[in-house]
Amino acid sequence: MLEVTGLSVAYGGIRAVRSITFHVAAGETVALIGANGAGKTSTLKALARLLDPAGGSVRFLGEDLTRLPAHRLVEKGIALVPEGRGVFPRLSVAENLSMGAFVRRDRAAVAEDSERIYDLFPRLRERAGQLAGTLSGGEQQMLAIGRALMSRPRLLLLDEPSMGLAPLMVQKIFEVVRAVAQEGMTILLVEQNAKLALETSSRGYVLESGEITLNGPAGDLLADSRVRAAYLGE
């Protein structure tokens, strides 16, 4: 579904991502793990067209999206849940969810999907009329994921969904991620919690200093002594 070839991202003269190549097949959950500053978020921003790549190509369902404007990606079937959530703080929970469906015209189906999001995240239903900026960090993360799902994406890009959240909230967020994956959603997961990311995914890539240094089935990476030493504290 997603083919990334030779992708590079630069900030001025500094290359944050160095000619990486990877793929995500339909129905897979693939983890991209690495330490802070490894280039994980820069990679997702380049895929979402929030940054211009310094080189390489991005193909989605066979179509070259490398230079496509960011606002066109949602209609192509790609949705990003950004690091830091990025909810609209002065809009209500319900209005934020509606914004996620802005490219859709099937209003009845949009209403059905909104109910589905409330079923996935009952706390959002309780706060449907509340301003998003007044929610807790965990509730905002629920809302950011729900908003992305409202576009009915083919590919969901998740950037650090556990960041800054209490353990119980992280557990709830990842229960939903797994449930969505089991329904057939294709997910590219960027996550600093390597153990949690690999336990949730079928395959993984390890990014170090902007380069992919390891890749393979998630179970193999979890068992790899280098991964365990670098990211699991062993």
Beta-strand (E) ranges in the chain? 2-11, 14-24, 29-33, 55-60, 63-64, 78-81, 155-159, 186-190, 203-208, 211-217
Matching residue, tokens 């079937």: 77
- The pTM of this model reads 0.94
197 in Cβ contact with 188 (< 8 Å): no
Half-sphere exposure in the Cβ direction for 23 (13 Å, CA): 8
Give the Cα separation of 61 and 154 in Å (integer).
10
Give the Cα separation of 234 and 225 in Å (integer).
8
Q: Could you list the pLDDT tens digit for every one of the 234 residues in the chain?
A: 999 999 999 998 889 999 999 999 999 999 999 988 899 999 999 999 999 999 999 999 999 998 899 989 999 999 999 998 899 999 999 999 999 999 989 999 999 999 999 999 999 999 999 999 999 999 999 999 999 999 999 999 999 999 989 999 999 999 999 999 999 999 999 998 999 999 999 999 999 999 999 999 999 999 999 999 988 876
Domain boundaries, the chain: 26-38+72-201+211-231
Give the Cα separation of 14 and 166 in Å (integer).
34
CATH fold for the domain made of 26-38+72-201+211-231: Rossmann fold (3.40.50)
